[in-house]
Structures are given as C-alpha cells and as structure tokens.
A and B are shown apart, each in its own frame.
Chain A
Amino acid sequence: MHETMVAQNLLAAISREAAKHNAKPVAARISCGTLYAVNDELLRFAFEAIARDTPCEGVRLEIEHKRVQGRCRSCNETFDVELSDPRCRACAAEDFELLPDPPLVLEQIELRTE
C-alpha cells in the first residue's frame, strides 16, 4: 500500500525538523485531501514499522482529512463537496468545478524539550 511511501516521506520530514531543533519528536499533525485515499490505520501501522529504532519511534500521528472543494458555476461559491451528493451548498446547482485535492501536509510537530 502507498501508505508506506507516505510514511517514509513523513518520517524524513519529521526527522529533519526535529534535528533542526535538536529535540525528540513526540507527535505530528498532518492533513490531506479526502481524494488522497490515505487510510489512517495503514499509515499509522506503516509509520510505526519504519520508525522503530529511529528518533521518530513512538511519535503519535494525528491525521486530518480535508474535504475536496468545488466552485459553483452558477453562483461562484466555493464549498466542501459531499461526494455522495455533489452539489453547490449555496444554490444546489450541480454544475461546479472540482478544485484540486488538498496536498499532504505536515502541519505541526510536537517536540520534547529537556
């Protein structure tokens, strides 16, 4: 599963930031678009496996899924798209532009400071 690749990139990013501050990371918050198909459980599992015996061992992951957004072609409103019923939240029009999926972002890390 691609969660392994995400976990590797995430581990590298957290390690780099923690090293800058010379501190042990204890938690990380990430966000990603719903269309990214990141499965929380698989990501935590993959991360745990590769973090073993590294400074990232034991880091808690908080994963926030961001709804994909649409822009209405009738009223120009930008809104969260409900995939099971895709229509404008403001005027209910079904004609809208699907905006690009929010990227995977390392939002915040928590460091243990001695």
Chain B
Amino acid sequence: MSKIDIGRRILSENEKYALDNGRLLSEGGKLCLNMISSPGSGKTTILVRTITELKEKIGIGVIEGDIQTDIDAERIRATEAPVVQINTEGGCHLNAAQVAGALKGLPMDKLDLIMIENVGNLVCPSAFELGENGKVVVLSVAEGDDKPAKYPAIFAKSKVLLINKIDLLTKGAAEDFDIERVKTDARRLNKEIRIFQISAKTGEGMSGWYDWLTEFVRNRQSQRA
C-alpha cells in the first residue's frame, strides 16, 4: 500500500463555471440573485409580483430551476419577462454549468437583473455557487420559526431574508410563528443580512425589498467592468 497526498478541490469544475458566469455578469454590469427556499415558500409568487411592479424600471430575466415541470416558467412567461427553464431531472440543486447554458438563452442586452429560482430545497442549493452576486433566502411563516436554527448554512450565506406570507399571521394562521426569533437566529450567524417581512399575495412590505433591489441593480451598473 502507498498513501499519496492530493489536495485537489473536488468541485473545481463547478467553481470554474461559477467564475465564468460571474465574469460575464460583471462585464455587462448585471445583477444576478439566487433564490433559495423550501418548496412552496413563495419564490415564484414573489418573482411574478416583483416583475409586474418593477418591469418599467428594471429589465428582469429569470432562470427557473425545477426538478420536472415547467409550471413555474409558464407563470413567469405570463408577465412577459424572458425566462429560461432548467429541468434538473431529480437533481436537488442547480449547478453553475446549467446556469452558464441558461444565461446564453436570455436576451442579456435587454436585462439589468437576472433572478434564478433554485430547486425547492433549503439545504443542497446553498452549497453550489452559480456565479451570482448574492443569495436570497425565502422563509414563509407557514414553515415554522426554527428554520434558521435548523438550517444555518443558507441563512449564514444569504444577503437577504424574505419572510413571506405575513398575511397569514394576522389571520390567526401560523400564529405561533415568532418573527423575532427568526430574525435573531438569522442575525447571530449573519450580521449583514437584510430582512424584509412581506406578503407576495397582498403586496404588504414589498416596497422595502424593491428599494433594496433597485439600489443593488444601480450599483452593479455603475461598477460595470
């Protein structure tokens, strides 16, 4: 037997694609965000509302990751925003090579912002960089307030936390969801995380998220390489 030290990064292939994607986005001064949550937290609903309300000001394109169907891509298409669908065929996350292909399918010269809806899963997508400029984690009040404590990785790595479906709180549903606990737990691991409490259904709280998004888009444009 002989032991040989290697020290080789195993996911270097993904890292290489992520770097290329990042470079392409920087050259064009585009903002790209990677949305991550459990299935059903409201990612598609948030995207549809955001596009509808910001499309006069910002050119938004979408990359839709889904295990099997193109239902979400259809919902985005109804807003007239350009969308590219990636079917992962069972895969629990998007990888950077898939995103590289999808970016080629978007009309980049018309876009300021590319939103990626990752596969519904709070764990796996957080481990794979896509070349994005930031992650947005979505947690709905229907899921319980213990999620940042149970799945710290994604909360530690995200720029923004959207606490969605706050309309349910006032209706008495999800009444034991403690928003303060979620905020405290998320901030213990991530002092810089921006937190917005929203309802993608009623539109409540969305304006803070829009302002943040618009400012970040402008920043990227002014830093254009």
* Residue ranges of A at the interface with B (Cβ–Cβ < 8 Å): 1-2, 5-6, 9-10, 13, 17, 21, 23, 26, 30, 34-38, 68, 81, 83-84, 86, 94-95, 98, 101, 103-113
Contact = CB atoms under 8 A, between A and B. Distances in A.
A113 B3 CA distance: 10
Nearest to B93: A2
B190 interface: yes
Contacts of B1: 26, 110-113
Given A26-B1, A110-B2, A37 B10 contact: no
Does more than half of chain B's interface fall in helix, strand or loop, or is it mixed?
A: mixed
A9 B12 CA distance: 9
A2 B3 CA distance: 28
Nearest to B4: A109
Interface stretch (B48-56, B68-76, B120-128, B132-140): B120-128
Size class of the contact patch on chain B:
20 to 34
A11 B3 CA distance: 17
Interface stretch (B30-38, B103-111, B151-159, B211-219): B151-159
A104 B11 contact: yes
Interface in B1-58: 1-11, 13-15
Nearest to B6: A106
Contact of B10 (A21, A81, A98, A105): A105
A15 to B, nearest CB: 12
B10 A17 contact: no
A63 to B, nearest CB: 11
Contact of B2 (A5, A94, A113): A113
B26 to A, nearest CB: 19
Contact of B11 (A6, A34, A95, A111): A6
A86 B188 contact: yes
A7 to B, nearest CB: 10
B4 A17 contact: yes
Interface of B: 1-11, 13-15, 91-93, 95, 123-124, 126-128, 149, 152-153, 156-157, 188-191
A37 to B, nearest CB: 5
A17 B6 contact: yes
A2 B91 contact: yes
- Shortest 4 CB-CB distances between A and B: which pairs? A35-B153, A104-B10, A2-B124, A37-B123
10 contacts: A2-B128, A17-B4, A21-B2, A21-B4, A35-B127, A35-B156, A37-B126, A81-B189, A108-B4, A109-B3
Q: Which of B7, B93, B124, B127 has the most CB atoms of chain A within a 10 A radius of its CB?
A: B127
Contact of B156 (A84, A98, A111): A98
A109 B10 CA distance: 13
A98 B4 contact: no
Contacts of A38: 127
Nearest to B189: A86
Contact of A104 (B9, B126, B152): B9
B3 A83 contact: no
A68 B7 CA distance: 18
A6 to B, nearest CB: 7
